[in-house]
Chains A and B, each alone.
Chain A
Amino acid sequence: EVQLVQSGAEVKKPGESLKISCQGSGYTFTTYWIGWVRQMPGKGLEWMGITYPGDSDTRYSPSFQGQVTISADKSISGSAYLQWSSLKASDTAIYYCARLSIMGATGSYFDYWGQGTLVTVSS
């Protein structure tokens, strides 16, 4: 069974750094792209970017380029990561990881989702 398990909720202060994770299991982790999706409080879904654990190729939405770093490790039961170097209050949101459905292809939809990680940034 495919599962994506995300790290727990975080409460941070503005200016702090943060790295959240998404561990995949039940499939060959290195052969499917993993993406991150933001959902701000009461708002819609925003596609942030995707990464391919097999070779670390990463694509960002222009809206998030330079604001976050997406990465993954290559181990078979590995994890994808989303990190910030300096958080802002406006980063408060739920962040979902999700798997792209077609092995090796960027042009595919999200078929499996993590449970979400709530990040709260407040002074």
Chain B
Amino acid sequence: GNSVTQMEGPVTLSEEAFLTINCTYTATGYPSLFWYVQYPGEGLQLLLKATKADDKGSNKGFEATYRKETTSFHLEKGSVQVSDSAVYFCALSSSGNTGKLIFGQGTTLQVKP
């Protein structure tokens, strides 16, 4: 079945450090891929998405590239801020599916000043 695997957290970085959160997936067909973020005390919100191979999603300085050959969608940011501290979820929505999202387990990012 379809699944998403994220790197274990928590990830602790100093402000202005480079961030990578790894995400790999298993899916039939051609899924769309998403990164959702959950800030403390808030609901999940879409950070970025990519709908086909080699697409790059980007938002708020975050980027992720849809790599079909490695079935990956790693999240990157060149310089993190304290305000980026949150839980990040990688997810997929399979083609031909009802649209439901399958999530990874989440990765907690803590950025220290």
A and B form one complex: no
Chain A residues within 8 Å of B, Cβ to Cβ: none
Chain B residues within 8 Å of A, Cβ to Cβ: none
